[in-house]
């Protein structure tokens, strides 16, 4: 098989060999729990290298391996391991690096469940200390490093307010201090951002977003060096057992074939929608790294090769009934959590925040009643803009 470095070509063919499955144009789903052997010596030999031999589907499975090869090649890593969800990938990657009584530096606006894992669960179980920073200035990282700092955990852009971290600078600093680094790269995907090439140790993704792209799977992946992934395979993956189902891996293989063209369309649509929203009098602010008015636009341009379709806006309105009316009025934007699928979605962080606190409390965290998250799907952008324009007219 010829090896192309163009994503479109590579994602179609890399890691697949038609000879191995009767020429089937789509590799089969190996839906089996175990693999059988001719004789004593062959199973004995397989156990010499259980990571690379098919023995039992909690270990290597051929369908899963094809997808892992594509993802690690795409990210510029050496190896990848798929997991049953993004959170399984994230908690396994963190457990791989964290030490009892250790210290983690992370961001104030980190993805909620990842924060709960580090800041509550690990804090209690392993006496982990955690420091939250904005992540916008390298000096914040430098000033908060302690003797027991074992991990810097990043998410750039973060999925709430889309703030960025300077990945090159942070990985350089971490290496000087022997601190491990993990980044949640779900927003940018391995196509638009290459953290491993910038020196980050492990890259994690929720494959439930753009990598899956069809809103029909929940899955995750960790990508990194041969050594780290082998260790994670043998420890966190094997022992917690968060293995992906072969069918779900197969669906990701299907999704990866169209990832580059889907992203190009998400990007085009999102840029058009962001520009429309930016110029609308009822929209106070647009949080989207692809527009020039975005606070960290220059850093984004330096370290990303493109932008995907998730953004947030602040409506110029404090009346909860009107804000509800705006959300309910939208026709093409379905109301729901998650993002990165073919369909456009709308969600208001206030829905969950209001259950726990008053608006003035979450205002202080940079989220207001009028904060609205939009996942821009693959519809024609004219329809999306029209839909938003109608809904905004009721404010």
Ligand X SMILES: *Cc1c(COP(=O)(O)O)cnc(C)c1O
Cβ atoms of 266 and 376 within 8 Å: the answer is yes
x/- map, 130-159, ligand X, by CB under 6 A: -------------------------x---x
Q: Which segment (140-148, 195-203, 205-213, 267-275) binds ligand X by CB under 6 A?
A: 205-213
Q: Does 208 bind ligand X (CB under 6 A)?
A: yes
Output 93 or 392, the one with its CB closest to ligand X: 93
Nearest to 80 by CA among 207, 165, 180: 207
- Helices 259-278 and 381-392 pack at an angle, to 10 degrees, of 30
7 vs 111, beta carbon nearer ligand X = 111
Binding segment for ligand X (CB under 6 A), chosen from 84-92, 121-129, 167-175, 256-264, is 84-92
375 forms part of the interface with ligand X (CB under 6 A):
no
The one among 29, 67, 74, 87 contacting ligand X by CB under 6 A: 87
* Shortest distance, position 303 Cβ to ligand X, whole Å: 17
- Nearest Cα residue to 375 out of 213, 240, 259: 213
- Closest distance of CB 382 from ligand X, Å: 28
344 binds ligand X (CB under 6 A): no
Compare residues 193 and 206 and give the one whose CB is closer to ligand X.
206
| Options 52-60, 81-89, 250-258, 375-383: segment touching ligand X (CB under 6 A) | 81-89
Strand partners, 184: 155, 204
d(CA 364, CA 212): 34
d(CA 70, CA 15): 6
Least distance from ligand X to the Cβ atom of residue 329, Å: 26
C-alpha count within 13 angstroms, C-beta hemisphere, residue 313: 26
Q: Which is nearer to ligand X, 206 or 215 (CB)?
A: 206
Closest approach, Cβ 5 to ligand X, in A, equals 27
- Which is closer to ligand X, CB of 154 or CB of 391? 154
Among 115, 206, 269, 344, binds ligand X (CB under 6 A): 206
Q: Are 389 and 329 in contact (CB under 8 A)?
A: no
Verify binding: residue 248, ligand X, rule CB under 6 A.
no
CB-hemisphere CA count at 13 Å for 358? 1
**Distance (Å, rounded) from C-alpha 271 to C-alpha 385?**
11
Pairing of strands 371-375, 334-335: unpaired
Q: Which pair of tokens denotes residue 174?
A: 């971490």
Cβ pair 240, 88 in contact under 8 A: yes
* Total number of residues shown for the chain: 395
Interactions with ligand X, residue window 177-196 (CB under 6 A): 184, 186
Q: Pick the stretch among 95-103, 206-214, 322-330, 342-350 that binds ligand X (CB under 6 A).
A: 206-214
Number of residues that bind ligand X (CB under 6 A): 13
CB crowding 225-248: b at 16 or more within 10 Å, else e: eeebbbebbeebbbeeebbbbbeb
**Residues lying near ligand X in the complex (CB under 6 A):** 85-87, 111, 155, 159, 184, 186, 206, 208-209, 218, 220
């Amino acid at each position: 098989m010829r090896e192309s470095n163009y994503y479109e070509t590579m994602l179609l063919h890399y890691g697949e060999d038609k000879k191995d499955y009767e020429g089937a144009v789509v590799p089969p789903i190996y839906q089996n729990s175990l693999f059988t052997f001719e004789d004593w010596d062959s199973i004995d030999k397989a156990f010499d290298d259980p990571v690379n031999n098919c023995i039992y589907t909690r270990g290597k499975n051929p369908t899963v391996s094809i997808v892992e090869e594509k993802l690690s090649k795409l990210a510029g890593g050496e190896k990848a391991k798929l997991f049953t969800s993004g959170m399984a990938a994230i908690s396994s990657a963190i457990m791989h690096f964290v030490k009892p009584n250790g210290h983690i530096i992370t961001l104030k606006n980190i993805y909620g469940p990842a924060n709960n894992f580090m800041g509550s669960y690990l804090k209690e179980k392993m006496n982990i200390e955690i420091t939250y920073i904005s992540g916008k200035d390298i000096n914040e990282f430098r000033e908060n490093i302690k003797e027991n700092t074992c991990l810097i955990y990043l998410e750039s852009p973060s999925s709430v307010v889309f703030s960025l971290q300077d990945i090159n600078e942070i990985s350089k600093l971490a290496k000087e201090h022997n601190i491990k680094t993990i980044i949640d790269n779900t927003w940018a995907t391995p196509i638009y951002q290459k953290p491993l090439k910038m020196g980050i140790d492990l890259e994690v993704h929720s494959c439930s977003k753009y990598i899956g792209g069809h809103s029909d799977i929940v899955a995750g992946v960790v990508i990194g060096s041969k050594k780290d992934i082998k260790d994670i395979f043998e420890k966190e993956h094997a022992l917690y057992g968060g293995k992906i189902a072969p069918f779900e891996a197969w669906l990701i293989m299907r999704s990866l074939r169209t990832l580059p063209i889907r992203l190009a369309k998400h990007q085009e649509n999102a840029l058009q929608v962001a520009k429309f929203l930016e110029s609308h009098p009822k929209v106070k602010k647009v949080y989207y790294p692809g527009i020039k008015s975005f606070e960290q636009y220059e850093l984004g341009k330096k370290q990303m090769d493109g932008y995907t379709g998730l953004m947030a806006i602040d409506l110029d309105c404090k009346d909860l009934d009107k804000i509800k009316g705006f959300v309910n009025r939208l026709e093409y934007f379905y109301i729901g959590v998650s993002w990165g699928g073919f369909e456009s979605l709308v969600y208001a962080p206030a829905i969950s925040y209001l259950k726990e606190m008053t608006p003035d409390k979450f205002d202080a965290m940079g989220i207001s009643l009028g904060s609205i998250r939009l996942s821009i799907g693959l519809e024609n952008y004219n329809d999306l803009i029209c839909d938003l324009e109608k809904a905004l007219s009721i404010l």
